[in-house]
Copies of this chain bind each other. A is one copy, B any other.
Amino acid sequence: MHTNALHDPAHAFMPYPAVPVPHAPTGPLAGLSFAAKDLFHIAGYPTSGGQPLLLALLGVQSRTAPTVQRLLDAGARFAGKTITDELAFSMNGQNAHFGSPINGAVPERITGGSSSGSASAVSNQLCDFALGTDTGGSVRAPASHCGLYGLRPTHGRVSLHDTLDLAPSLDTCGWFARDAATFARVADVLLGPDTTPLGTEAGGVRLLLPTDLWELATPAARKALAPARAQVEQVLGKARNTRVVLDGLDDMYWHFRHIQGAEAWQVDGGFIQRFAPPLGPGVSQRFAWSAQVSDAQAASARAFRDRFRAHMAQLLGSNGVLLLPTMPDVAPLVSEPEAGLEDYRNRSIRLLCAAGLAGLPQLSLPLAQRAGAPLGISLLGPAGSDRSLIALAEQIAQHTAA
């Protein structure tokens, strides 16, 4: 509940002095506290993007991102800005400059990133919910690793105005909460009604099991996810097998990386070239690689994305919901070397890039465990079905509790 690092044993928050941020005295989120990834501008606070030279260049901001303002206007209390992986271009949850937030569910494992501090703050119960961003999995991965609900919304549905970009055509604004009910309260404020509402009765939703994506989970993870899968099927009906991969998994992986790399270099390349900031391990290599993505590669990737969107729209129709593992396995250990994390990241992207390329909402539910660590299972629906996915998660949670 503190921005004061003296009271932040989870190392979730940026160590900024606490400047009061006013919120409405009443409203639908009254009584809830929230944190925001340090990509969101908040008047009176700096914005670092996890990069100290950028922090210095950008300085203290005079504007507040509208998504943050919306939460304040709904009565939520601001608890602080959270550490993000450097320039949001990592999935490790480790920041070479500002340190590594601690996973509240399993401290010896990484939170995942890049919304690492937000997942840490919520999983350590330092606030009730927290804003993150998800370009390639930066909300879904930490949600799965830390045992939280986490949403990547339909692309463009939640404003990222006055927020630092990574790759704008892929960037989305999501959030974390520990329970489905709190998650839904935030959704009411940030999402409003769905453009593609799903039937919430059994039979109203067509549950689909993408077997090609399930193969990306480790055998142990698949086994650990089986009870969660059964739990979802009890509420939504038996899932039918399907396949979603177009062309091939490697193709999808490279197309995703080419779009992300080309845009990330467009966003941050000027800063990196002009100021040569020291970048942490992995991040430095990823930007160097991004600088090399050719126009032809990016154009080919965007053409593929158009085809994939049409393919997914046809597959899901207005009531198809994919049930899939959020991540290939539980979070790697904090002690895992960079090379091992890079390998895990590359396998994860193959699983995460379906929603990213298609611009579709994906909600991770904390319904499984393996080796004492959390493991998320995801619902992925048609564009504009975000609020319905959350309602389904509430149903599943209630069914389980009953």
A-side interface residues toward B, CB under 8 Å? 3-6, 8, 11, 14-19, 44-46, 52-53, 55-60, 62, 83, 95-99, 276-280
Contacts and interface: CB of A to CB of B under 8 A. Distances in A.
Nearest to A16: B17
Contacts of A45: 17
B53 A277 contact: no
Contacts of A11: 56
B60 A46 contact: no
A97 B97 contact: yes
A354 B336 CA distance: 49
Nearest to A55: B15
A6 B63 CA distance: 12
What 9 pairs between A and B have smallest CB-CB spacing? A5-B59, A278-B278, A52-B52, A52-B97, A56-B98, A17-B19, A15-B59, A56-B99, A15-B46
Contacts of A58: 5, 15
Nearest to A98: B56
A283 to B, nearest CB: 10
Given A55-B15, A97-B278, A278-B97, A6 B62 contact: yes
Secondary structure at chain A's binding surface: helix, strand, loop or mixed? Answer: loop
Given A60-B5, A278-B280, A53 B19 contact: no
Given A5-B60, A6-B62, A11-B56, A277 B97 contact: yes
Given A15-B59, A59-B15, A53 B5 contact: no
B17 A56 contact: no
Given A60-B5, A62-B6, A279-B278, A53 B97 contact: yes
A18 B16 contact: no
Given A5-B46, A46-B5, A60 B98 contact: no
Contact of A6 (B3, B4, B60, B96): B60
Contacts of A96: 53, 276-278
Contacts of A97: 52-53, 56, 97, 277-278
A276 B338 CA distance: 14
A21 to B, nearest CB: 10
30 contacts: A4-B59, A5-B46, A5-B56, A5-B58, A5-B59, A6-B60, A6-B62, A11-B56, A15-B55, A16-B17, A16-B46, A16-B60, A17-B17, A17-B45, A17-B60, A52-B55, A52-B97, A52-B98, A53-B97, A53-B98, A53-B99, A55-B98, A56-B83, A56-B95, A56-B99, A57-B99, A97-B97, A278-B278, A278-B279, A278-B280
